[in-house]
Structure 1
Amino acid sequence: MHPLRSATAAPSRRALACALSLALFPFVAAATDGMSDARTLDRVVVIGTPTQPLTFVTDTKLPRQPVPASDGADYLKTIPGFTALRNGGTNGDPVLRGMFGSRLNLLSNDGSMPGACPARMDNPLSYVAPETYDTLVVVKGPQTVLWGPGASAGTVRFQRETPRFDAPGLRVQGSLLGGSFVRNDQLLDATAGNATGYARLTANRSESGDYRDGHGDRVPTAWKKWNTDLALGWTPDADTLVEVSAGIGDGQARYAGRGMDGAQFKRESLGLRFEKAFHGALRKVQASLYRNDADHVMDNYTLRDPNPMGPMPMPMASNVDRTTDGGRIAAEWGWGDVVLTTGIDAQRSRHRTRNAMGRDAYKTVAWSPDATLRNTGVFAEGTWTLDAGRRWVAGLRSDRARATDQRATRSAMGMGGMAMPNPTLGLTRSETLPAGFVRFEHDIAGSGFGWYAGVGHTARMPDYWELISPNMGPMGTVNAFAGVRPEKTTQLDIGGQYRGKRMDAWVSAYAGRIDDFILFRYPTGGMMGATSMASNVDARIHGAEAGVDLRLAADWSVGGSLAWAWGANTTAGTPLPQMTPLEGRLTAGWDNGHWSAGALLRVVARQDRVAVGQGNVVGRDLGPSAGFATLALNAGYRLSERLQLAAGMDNLFDRAYAEHLNLAGSADFGYPAMPVRINEPGRNLWLKLNFTL
């Protein structure tokens, strides 16, 4: 029996056991109540709101709805404008305003973990367990230069805060989760320390069986994953920090929308961090080094049986590995009303692969390197405060990017196709990439209104998936490595916020021009990934997000958000593919300090603006998609200052629906040859306990 299939053998008994353990835990843990430094936990998070212009900050340990996330991309969906390119139960690929891939700078502890799969089965956020971090910080648009190159769509940072102790002590946070489809998660975050140092251990485990959609049909989407990280810090005084960290993790995931499953998601991470604060013009110095390795195995036999009628009738596996080393040093300066951060960062990423027919035969095959990518950047970002509440923020950045093609052969027709000599073997491409922005901010004043306006530009080097993964490059070129040009984005961002006694509201809008947008094209029929071509087109994008929160009474609030994205391929005069549909969320909440309850209505419009057969390295437009609406309910109870119990029911009416951004179901699991989107989970119940000691 396949390991993940066994998870569904007795779902009712296992789900009941999880629910009972969660229900009984508060009474066992209640003995810890009464400690004076407890943190009061908030109600379930359903919609994120901006904390400052274009910036969203969220506590990742808070319970959220829909069911608490198993990966970083899932958590981002609480922020208006974000969605994920879906392929089943876990490891969706994040999308912001219809923009995908390295247009989003995805960081964990300010280090890069790009993933190794040529089709992004293990995208960067599949290695992120959100609740093992303290905060999620998102900056939308090309409106910062501090955290690396590209980032035309935005910057996403999952961060762990530095613990400080005045006296010897122990802090423990954790959670337990049980739910439908045999979902069960465990989290422990423990820190021990004193005034001169600390040790912090974070560990989590997450598992789910296959879910059933609104029709009651089983969707092959089971997963299990775990992560463990240890950080040791030295804090000799209030102004100094030296921290060394190490982490490991692994997992498996079955994919209804792919020809292979993820049999291994092995992660190894090392980090070194130094911070020093000063009390003169030089205010702070920060330096960090990291090394992240993703060792990923894809096969068609560990979590499924090979399909004798499919394109891979025999057992087959591919092992890919990507090691990324990087570092950053930055100095913060201050002179009166001016604050300036300057610095340099660098990164090197090496990719290699091996594959073979037969069960585990790849283990005897030698590794073959296929690409090395390097980037070195210098940056400066400053804030000039004119007076209370008004400021200019601006930044400049320049990167030198290099990519070396190390493939001896290339496949002209996708997986299993004929191998041909690679004409760009040993070729190195080098590009100088400028970036910058300027923004004016006016804080919320006596009238309750604040606003901002900024314009940014960034040039982005084609990433590994755009240089190496396509079978073909633009017409007239030997391959994508030689032919795909860097992408250049210029974007205007404007927005406003209002805060009143009973209402908070915000709106943000953007309009951008993308020269040399990197577009993938696929055959309109047949298997996804059989043949792909990457080329450059010119594009236009615009859209908006807005949110409102009304406090009807002391304990009652209602709110909502709206997100809209539009894109056009101006070279061809057609829609830009993979654009997210118009989406609205309406919420109602009640919280009296001990009990809380809420409802979330999510409404997604039909998407007719499509470019069939076009998209990115993971997905393509399959055609128009139907609109849908789902209703979710949640409730919570604060048993003490240290204990919070939350419960939820997603998709209350058990609707059968599919997201627009989606992969087509694999024929290995009985899906038809014509592309059919993968349905989302049906009615889903969950129960979660958060605790602190």
Structure 2
Amino acid sequence: MRKLLAAGLLVPAIVSFSSGQEIIKVKKITVAEEISEQETVGETKETTQEEIKITRQIDVGEILSSIFPEVNHIRKGGTANDITIRGFGRDNINVLLDGMRIYGACPNRMDPAIFHMSTRQVKEVRIQEGPFDVENQGSLAGVVNLISKDPEAGKGGSVYFTGGYFNYLHGGFDAYVGNDLIKVLVGYSKQYSKPYESGEGKKITEYPTGNSAYKSSEKDHTAFDIDSVWTKLVITPDNDNEVKINYAFDEAKDVLYPYLMMDAVYDRTHRVNGEYYIKSLGIKISAYWNFVKHDMQDRWRVSSNMWASRGYGMRTLAKTKTYGAKIEKEWKISGVQLKTGIDAYLRNWRADNTLMSLDNRGMIPNVDIKNIGAFIKGAKPIGNIIVSAGLRIDSTKSEADREALGTANQNLYSSYYSNYDLSQTDTYLSGNIVARYKIDKRSSVYVGFGHTVRVPDPEERYIALKKPMTKPNWVGNPNLDPTQNNELDAGFEYYKGLFGIKGNIFYSDLTDYIYLTRISPVAPPETKPATSYQNIDAHIYGGDITVVGMLTDTISVEAGAAYQRGRKDSGNYTDKDLAEIPPLKTRVALKYDNGTVFGQIEGIYASRQNDVDSDLQEKETKSYYVVNIKTGLNAGNRAFIGLGIDNLFDKNYYTHLSYLRNPFQAGTKIPEPGRFVYMNVIYRF
């Protein structure tokens, strides 16, 4: 593979075929969503087709992290990168697929929501930063919506292939057929890789040590093997009605997570969603169902050796399913553009764990989260000012099943909490207001305030994991209160000729922020401390800036930077720094594009992170700087070939989110890939 790709360096430049079926469009919205086709209230940014297309396209999380300095990925292995935005991660940001809620089944987020739609299915990614989303419950600090491709009229499709270092292969096809009445899209993709090597020439499977180390026979084990199939049906009986029905199935096998103590034997996902839109009435009705089954074990680690008869020392079999529906209506009353809606969903999560001889059935004890909510949002131009606002009310019930607990973990709650209830109902309001002053058609300044609420997830309230010997147990806190975010955002965008600059700052005041803690037992049989969660007050602040410009008709430059800082204001701590806050990150890209040939060289720099939480034994991370190059050529009207080299100088480096704070002890730090050469080929028929 290396020889093949090295030979490809001799091929003249290469890159993306600009078809709507072949690219991912990314739009970033800083403070509020679009309110009409004519006006927007919020900064938006769309990447070029070539910029997205000529990437390794291993997963969406890594793509977003490479483009936006304020987005960072959490490196657990070769794929399935979770993301943070402005220092917020996990359930503090909503990740939706076609507006559908989906949740991973792994308690350690091996399978984050963004992993459950392959790159080849994605048409557009919409990123909305801050607490300005009232259309979806729980968007505490942002929402990311992955929108899938639609079929086209006529007949056509594409076949594609990507090959790269470390035996990375990604191939498949999509095809569509249709007319004005009915259109159908089907697709299949496969991704496969061996463990990548870091800049110091070590496989990532060589980094875990002790009982977490991989067996010598497994250090070249498959890093991931993923099959995805999908289909989408669009029915348009007339100009006023449209129906969309979408189904997808993904199976990820042999996915290695050196960052953790176990790996995924398989992760299977079914997704179904439908949508009915009546244009003349401005009514959209949608419904969805998804199911994820996840099996993780230590069968490829040294820790399983003493349990050879059953093949593993520890295992978690987890399942999650989500049902949901939404009705939305667009209005225009007295010049005010309005949108109203009501939605509901049910999230169920169960995880059964075996740890050595301990029966931890109900590690996540068959938890149901039921939510019903309603919202209204609107915007009105007043001269050069656009004022937008939104309001949402929710009622959420969280309930765990005590009967799901096993023999080892059935007494954990009563051992650490004198009073608790396994059923909680939370009712709360969210809302925002934004004012934008338009200097001219392209330039503006804005300020916005948002208040959002996020209910504790099933793990934070109800996880129950008995650990062997003196290792701390892991128990949720059933008494947790929902987290509230009161945030102020301000920013600008200014354009002069072929140059532009955009900037944003924010201050997020967090009440009852959910944070790790260590607690002592209050009653037998437990005598050792446990890892749990507490509500603290905290704040996160920061900002980002982007400069873009055309130097000539064919050469452009883009530069961006983002910084955030998190601090504790109350709670059980000795160190005021919040954990897992990425440091300053910058990106500079020089691009060439004459419509046929595309080329890009970019540099990404992250500063040293000294502001770490010593209470959680978080470690400092060194600064790094890497250079990536991409090039491409449209080969006629139907084909292209692309080539890229990430980490050109083969640097050995780590991002700050490269290891698990497993809690109160550092997990295995996972370096980023070393020099990675890859080639993309697509033929459209």
- Scaled by the length of structure 2, the TM-score of the pair is 0.84
Structure 1 position 162, deviation (Å): 4.5
Whole-Å Cα distance in 1 between the matches of residues 537 and 635 of structure 2? Answer: 56
Gaps of 5+ in 1: 1-11, 28-32, 473-477, 524-529, 615-620, 667-672
Alpha-carbon contact 1:285-1:332 (below 8 Å) kept = yes
Q: Residues 39 and 95 of structure 1: is their aligned pair in 2 closer, same or farther, counting only changes over 3 Å?
A: closer
Most deviating of 459-468 and 425-434: 425-434
Which position in structure 2 is the counterpart of 1:8? none
Q: Residues 645 and 99 of structure 1: is their aligned pair in 2 closer, same or farther, counting only changes over 3 Å?
A: same
1:560 correspondence with 2:548: no
Whole-Å Cα distance in 1 between the matches of residues 138 and 642 of structure 2? Answer: 39
1:660 correspondence with 2:656: yes
Q: Residues 628 and 392 of structure 1: is their aligned pair in 2 closer, same or farther, counting only changes over 3 Å?
A: same
Whole-Å Cα distance in 2 between the matches of residues 22 and 230 of structure 1? Answer: 36
Whole-Å Cα distance in 1 between the matches of residues 291 and 44 of structure 2? Answer: 29
Whole-Å Cα distance in 1 between the matches of residues 462 and 200 of structure 2? Answer: 40
Alpha-carbon contact 1:374-1:403 (below 8 Å) kept = yes
Whole-Å Cα distance in 1 between the matches of residues 236 and 45 of structure 2? Answer: 26
Which position in structure 2 is the counterpart of 1:431? 426
1:420 correspondence with 2:405: no
Q: Residues 499 and 262 of structure 1: is their aligned pair in 2 closer, same or farther, counting only changes over 3 Å?
A: same
Whole-Å Cα distance in 2 between the matches of residues 433 and 106 of structure 1? Answer: 21
Which position in structure 2 is the counterpart of 1:688? 680
Which secondary structure state, in structure 2, belongs to the residue aligned with residue 655 of structure 1?
coil
Which position in structure 1 is the counterpart of 2:218? none
Whole-Å Cα distance in 2 between the matches of residues 392 and 570 of structure 1? Answer: 33
1:42-61 mapped onto 2 (5 Å cutoff): 54=42, 56=44
1:491 correspondence with 2:491: no
1:282-681 mapped onto 2 (5 Å cutoff): 282=281, 284-301=282-299, 303-304=300-301, 306-308=303-305, 314-335=312-333, 337-356=335-354, 370-387=366-383, 390-408=385-403, 420=411, 422-423=413-414, 427-443=422-438, 445=440, 449-469=443-463, 480-521=476-517, 531-571=530-570, 572=573, 574-614=576-616, 622-663=618-659, 676-681=668-673
Alpha-carbon contact 1:404-1:428 (below 8 Å) kept = yes
Alpha-carbon contact 1:494-1:508 (below 8 Å) kept = yes
Whole-Å Cα distance in 2 between the matches of residues 38 and 74 of structure 1? Answer: 23
Q: Residues 570 and 318 of structure 1: is their aligned pair in 2 closer, same or farther, counting only changes over 3 Å?
A: same
Alpha-carbon contact 1:256-1:678 (below 8 Å) kept = yes
Q: Residues 484 and 236 of structure 1: is their aligned pair in 2 closer, same or farther, counting only changes over 3 Å?
A: same
Which secondary structure state, in structure 2, belongs to the residue aligned with residue 234 of structure 1?
strand
1:226 correspondence with 2:214: no
Which position in structure 1 is the counterpart of 2:125? 136
Alpha-carbon contact 2:559-2:586 (below 8 Å) kept = yes
1:213 correspondence with 2:184: no
Most deviating of 83-92 and 510-519: 83-92
Which secondary structure state, in structure 2, belongs to the residue aligned with residue 211 of structure 1?
coil
Which position in structure 2 is the counterpart of 1:239? 240
Whole-Å Cα distance in 2 between the matches of residues 155 and 577 of structure 1? Answer: 21
Q: 2:182 aligns with which of 197, 205, 209?
A: 197
Gaps of 5+ in 2: 35-39, 206-221, 467-473, 520-528
Which position in structure 2 is the counterpart of 1:527? none
Structure 1 position 505, deviation (Å): 1.3
Kindly provide the CA deviation profile for residues 540-588 of structure 1, in whole angstroms up to 9, marking residues without a partner as x.
Answer: 1110011111211111112210000111001156011110110011111
Structure 1 position 177, deviation (Å): 0.8
Which secondary structure state, in structure 2, belongs to the residue aligned with residue 126 of structure 1?
helix
Kindly provide the CA deviation profile for residues 55-105 of structure 1, in whole angstroms up to 9, marking residues without a partner as x.
Answer: 556579755388433223223212231102221211122101111111111
Q: Residues 195 and 20 of structure 1: is their aligned pair in 2 closer, same or farther, counting only changes over 3 Å?
A: farther
How many aligned positions are there? Answer: 630
Whole-Å Cα distance in 1 between the matches of residues 296 and 109 of structure 2? Answer: 11
Whole-Å Cα distance in 1 between the matches of residues 556 and 315 of structure 2? Answer: 52
Q: Residues 62 and 300 of structure 1: is their aligned pair in 2 closer, same or farther, counting only changes over 3 Å?
A: farther
Q: Residues 543 and 425 of structure 1: is their aligned pair in 2 closer, same or farther, counting only changes over 3 Å?
A: closer
Alignment root-mean-square deviation, CA: 3.7
Whole-Å Cα distance in 1 between the matches of residues 456 and 362 of structure 2? Answer: 28
Q: Residues 434 and 479 of structure 1: is their aligned pair in 2 closer, same or farther, counting only changes over 3 Å?
A: farther
Whole-Å Cα distance in 1 between the matches of residues 191 and 534 of structure 2? Answer: 39
Structure 1 position 201, deviation (Å): 1.2
The one-letter code of the counterpart of 1:680 is E
Whole-Å Cα distance in 1 between the matches of residues 334 and 366 of structure 2? Answer: 51
1:269 correspondence with 2:267: no
Which position in structure 2 is the counterpart of 1:30? none
Structure 1 position 405, deviation (Å): 1.2
The one-letter code of the counterpart of 1:236 is P
Whole-Å Cα distance in 2 between the matches of residues 59 and 292 of structure 1? Answer: 30
Alpha-carbon contact 2:25-2:46 (below 8 Å) kept = no
The one-letter code of the counterpart of 2:231 is L
Whole-Å Cα distance in 2 between the matches of residues 222 and 483 of structure 1? Answer: 39
Q: Residues 558 and 46 of structure 1: is their aligned pair in 2 closer, same or farther, counting only changes over 3 Å?
A: farther
Whole-Å Cα distance in 1 between the matches of residues 505 and 364 of structure 2? Answer: 46
Alpha-carbon contact 1:87-1:662 (below 8 Å) kept = yes
